[in-house]
Structure formats: C-alpha cells, structure tokens
Amino acid sequence: MSAEIGASSWSGAEQLEFEDLFDVAEIQQIQDAFAEATGVASIITRVDGSPITRPSRFCRLCLDIIRKTPEGLANCQRSDACLGRRNPEGPLVQPCLSGGLWDGGTSISVGDRHVANWLIGQVRDETQDEERIIEYVRTVGGDPDEAKRALGEVTRMSRAQFERVSSLLFLMAQQLSRLAIQNVRQAREIGARKRAEAEQERLLAQLLQSQKMEAIGRLAGGVAHDFNNILTGMSGYTDLALIAALPGDPVREELQEIRHGIDRAAELTRQLLAFSRRQTAQPAVLSLNDVVTRSHKLLARIIGEDVELRCVTSADLWPARVDPGQVEQVLINLAVNARDAMQGGGLLDISTRNVEIDDATALRRAEARPGKFVELAVSDTGHGMDEQTLSHLFEPFFTTKPVGQGTGLGLATAYGIAQQNGGFITVESVLGRGSTFRFHLPRVEGDAQPLARRSMAGVVAGSGERVLLVEDDAVVRRLCERALTQCGYRVLVASGPAEALELSDRHPEPIDLLLTDVVMPGMNGREVCIRVLARHPKAKVLFMSGYTENHIGQHGVLDPGVPFIEKPFTIEALAARTREALARTEPLPDFSCKS
C-alpha cells in the first residue's frame, strides 16, 4: 500500500507540496543516512519524477553514464515516476526501466494528495544479464567500455534482502506521511489561533476607537452647549448695541466685527454638535442624486479650475432619509479636503450607488454595519494618507494642515452627520495615489421627494402679549428680557423652575407664552410646561436650549415638532420664533403622558 494517511480528513491539502510540509535539508540527512546504512542508492522525487533531494549513493553507472545521456535520463525519470505510484500492497520492487538494475519505491501522500516518491535501488543480483545492461548503455549513447567498468562497482544484494530494505523504506514513508498530517494540522491550528488573535485585536481596537469617539462626542457636545449659552448673550447684546448705535457711528463697524467673530464661533459649535450627533436637522426622504446635482456648481467653485470635477450618479438609487443641508455640508467638507490634497491639480470624483453590506464585510470595517445602504463616494487623486493619519482622521480638531488653514472639524462633522442619521463613513487611502471617502446612509422605503426651496419669513413685533421667561443663565436671561421688551412684549422673568411656578400661580392675568430653557437644575423645561399649562391652559410654548432639538428629543425631554429655538440665536431669530409660537394653532403634545 502507499504511505497515505487519513485521506477523507485532509482533502483540503490540494495546494500543498512536499517542500511546504518538510524541511528538505533535514529530509536530505535522513535519506543520506538511510542509504549509507542499507547500501542502496536513494532519492526523493516529485510525482513526475523530477528530483526534490540530491541523490544519495548513486552508482557511477547510473549517475555519470546513463543519466548523462538525454534518452537515458528520460527513461530513468519515467521509471522513477512509475516506482512511486500508489500501491495498496506495499512498496514496488522491479528492475529499472532504464538500466535494468533493481529499484524500489513508494509514495508519500497527505490525504488524497500524492506529494512525492521515495526511491531506492541501483543494486544487482546474480540473476541480472550483464551483457544486456552494457548493450542498453550503447543504445542510449553511452560508453560501453566505461559502463562495463562501472557495473563492477554496483552494490550486489540478494532480492530478498533488497525487498526487506524496501519494506523498511515503506515504513519510513508512512511515518513521513503521518508527520506531514501533523504538520498540516499544526499549521492550521497555528493559523487559526493567529487569525483568532488578530480578529480579537481588531475587534478590541474597534471597541476602543468607538469608545474614544463616543467620549470625545460627549465632551464636544457638552462644550458646545455651554459655549452656545455664552454666545447667545454675546450675540444678543451685540445686536442690541447695533440697534442703539446711530448710522455713521464708528462703533457700528467695531460691533460688526464682533458680530462676525460671534458667527464664526457659532459655526464651530455647530460643527461640534454635528460631530456629537446633536446637530439640528430637518430630515426628509430624498435622493442623494438630487443633492449632488444641486451642489455641482458650488463644488466646482470651491475646488477651482485646476481640479476636474466628475459626478456619476446611479439611475436606480434608493431613497434615504436625511437633511439635504447635512449632505451638502458633507460634500463641501470632503471637497475642501480633496482640493487641499491636490495642490497641483487632479480629479475629484463624486459618485452614488446602492450597496448591500454582509456580516463578514461589516466585521472588517470598524464603523460599518450590515444592511442596505445608499453610498456617496468622494475620491481624489491627491497625496493620500498614512496609517497614523487615518487612525485620528475623524477626531475633532485633528488636522495635518498648517496653522490657520483648517479647524480640524470638517471630517469630524461628516462622521457625526453619518452617525446621527444611522449611517457611517469609511475611508480608503494609498500614499501617492489618493483617498476615497464612502458616506453611507440606510435605505428607506417610500418615494424620494423633490428638494424644497427655503424662504425667510419676516419678523413681526409683539402686541403686548405676556411672556413668562424661564432661564437659569443670567446673561441669556437678561438678553431675552431686554430683546422681548424692545419687541413689544410684557415679560415676566424667572431665574429657575421654582420661581417660574410661583409667578405662574400668583399672576392674576393669563400668560400668553412660556419661553423656557429645557435643561435646568431641579426640573426640566417640559415639567415646567406641564405645571404652567395646568394654570394657564391657553398659553403657547417656546423651548430653547444649547443642545439641539434632536438631542433633547432623543433623551425623552421633548416630543418632535414642538416649538424650539437653538442657542445661540440672534434677536431677529428670537423675535421670529416668538411670533411663530404665538401664532401656532396646532395643539401641543400631551406632555403629562411622558415619563
């Protein structure tokens, strides 16, 4: 029988070769020792007869005379291949098909994979015809006189002894086959363990990255909330000063510069809120194709004439639910980054397509999740990014640009917008070749609606309506009181929930509007609203907060769609939202039903 073990269990070894399974140098030592101990020639060949090891104890007749001729070498290799074929009865023993000396051989297999032949021989016994061997040498083109002298050097051995040596060879080949299986099993176990360890490390890195981004997001959102309260006071008092300043007064120009600085600071807080998924949004079911088309001219102006802009949109794109303004923000941020990465010009490629992400793909990408998504891809031919840069890419304030040329919030904003809308963003980058950002949003059912045009409503002053103002921040409280008074409202001022309820209970006349902060010590704005409406059921309500409407809604403080104004706001915005709240005819949700 051939030396094969466990065929059914190791059918997966089709691609393995002898050299993959063994240290050939060690096998050579075993082969040399076997040949010296038994007095036979030995070699290990591939299945086709080509050698793997060096010949051991090859006689001069075979090595230097017969195998030196092309025909003799070909006949020897054909004989070697025949001797190594599988035989269920044991080793094959027969005269060489080339010179006629006695040879033996067996196969080495791993499962059903025949990987090598182990051959021995080049011995003669008393039965072999010396003249026939010399005539064969003459036939293949060798020197018969030299062959006769070399034949006298060939090892003599009885056939019975040679068969015993061949049986020993078979046992050794069996052991090699078992060893091969152990090597395969060990390699597989080591490979599986390494893959498991690598997967564990990758998942741990994903978890740590996710936790880090979540912690940064909470910090960014909290900072933005507090900063918005400060900006609201600065913005409002600047507006009041501008209103009071006479035309031509030099102070107006200085106040305008303050206003520009406040606007820039407010934009930074909006980007921080976007990263922390707390940005105010008005999502709608739409096609990303429409947003790309509408943004084309703007993007072309942003990237300049040196960069070619190419947009390819999918005709059958699925709809997504997102605020179109947020998608435009993502496009602009990615386009600006791409432009800065292509200082000498290049190609900015924007495309859309439908993608289905399976579990295996999602596991390989830190932010990805399985499902059906709409993909917006933005590719550039810039200088690309290294692994160190990629590991920090979406963190707020991380930038590789020179000081003064970037805030480090553009990609953080894109990351936050994707997360806020149930999607994710990934990046692929190769140094010297460019980068591709893939912005994914979940597929939604329904038909995409056309993008709406936004209009600004005019601001209407008040007519003496009574407003109960509840704000725990003193600067914002004084600003709102002064602004609403100048707009023609009568204002009752409370520094917190307890004072607001006291004013509500003892005030004899109806309250027309409750203007209250949402997050306050002791009692939130919703709870204040419930108590005030119990005393003044016809009052309208306007909530305000440094957090976004989405964030406080997700935390169970407010229902979607209630009148709300986000800090920081201008005097004009406060006046407009106050008038809208007073004019509202739709009933408020039943706040008392919320826990």
**How many CA atoms lie within 13 Å of 125's alpha carbon, on the beta-carbon side?**
13
Architecture of domain 203-275: Orthogonal Bundle (1.10)
**Average of per-residue pLDDT across 62-67:** 87
Contact between 137 and 144 under an 8 Å Cβ cutoff? The reply is yes
Per-residue pLDDT at 9: 44
Question: What is the spatial distance between Cα 424 and Cα 442, in angstroms, rounded to a whole number?
Answer: 9
Helices (H), 49-158: 60, 70-83, 130-140, 144-151
Nearest CA-CA partner of 281 in 404, 419, 476? 419
Per-residue pLDDT at 400: 67
pLDDT in tens, 503-558: 999 888 899 999 999 888 889 888 999 999 999 999 999 998 876 655 555 544 56
pLDDT in tens, 449-497: 887 543 333 445 677 889 999 998 887 888 888 888 888 888 999 999 9
Per-domain residue ranges for the chain?
7-193, 203-275, 284-442, 466-593
Per-residue pLDDT at 216: 59
Per-residue pLDDT at 269: 65
Contact between 3 and 173 under an 8 Å Cβ cutoff? The reply is yes
Per-residue pLDDT at 498: 94
According to DSSP, the residues that pair with 119 across neighbouring strands are 43, 105
How is residue 478 written in tokens?
A: 């004084």
How is residue 49 written in tokens?
A: 């007869």
- % of residues, the chain, pLDDT over 90: 24
- Long-range contact pairs involving 157-162 (C-beta distance under 8 Å, separation at least 24): 157/39, 157/40, 157/102, 157/123, 157/124, 157/125, 158/125, 159/93, 159/102, 159/125, 159/127, 162/40, 162/93, 162/102, 162/104, 162/121, 162/123, 162/125
- Contacts of residue 39, defined as CB under 8 A and 6 or more positions apart, other chains included, come to 57, 123, 155, 157
Identity of the highest mean pLDDT range in 13-22, 111-120, 240-249? 111-120
Question: What is the spatial distance between Cα 137 and Cα 116, in angstroms, rounded to a whole number?
Answer: 28
Number of C-beta neighbours around residue 283 at 10 A: 15
Residue 470 backbone dihedrals phi, psi, to 5 degrees: -125, 110
CATH superfamily of 284-442: Histidine kinase-like ATPase, C-terminal domain (3.30.565.10)
Per DSSP, 262 falls in state: H
pLDDT in tens, 230-285: 777 787 788 888 777 777 787 877 887 787 777 767 766 665 565 544 555 568 89
CATH assignment, 466-593: 3.40.50.2300
Q: Does domain 7-193 have CATH number 3.30.450?
A: yes
pLDDT in tens, 173-204: 888 888 877 877 787 788 788 877 776 776 66
Task: Report the mean per-residue pLDDT for the chain.
Answer: 81
pLDDT in tens, 286-299: 999 999 998 888 78
Burial of 92 per CB tally in 10 Å (0-12, 13-18, 19+): buried
Identity of the highest mean pLDDT range in 64-68, 417-421, 585-589? 64-68
pTM of this structure: 0.42
Residue 468 backbone dihedrals phi, psi, to 5 degrees: -95, 110
